[in-house]
Amino acid sequence: MASATAYVAVAAGSAIGGLARYWLSGTVAPQAGDAFPWGTLAVNVSGSLLIGVIAGFTLTDGRMPFGPTGREFLMAGVCGGYTTFSSFSLQTLDLVRDGDWRRAAANTLLSVGGCLVAVWLGHAAAVAWQRSRGV
State the Cα–Cα distance between residues 24 and 29, nearest whole angstrom.
Answer: 8
Q: Is the pTM higher than 0.75?
A: yes
Burial of 93 (0-12, 13-18, 19+ CB in 10 A): middle
Longest Cα–Cα distance of the chain, Å, equals 60
Q: What mean pLDDT is reported for the chain?
A: 89
More confident residue, 119 or 18: 18
**Does residue 63 carry a pLDDT above 80?**
no
Residue 100 CB neighbour total at 10 angstroms: 14
69-113 pLDDT tens trace? 898 999 999 999 999 888 889 899 999 999 999 999 999 999 999
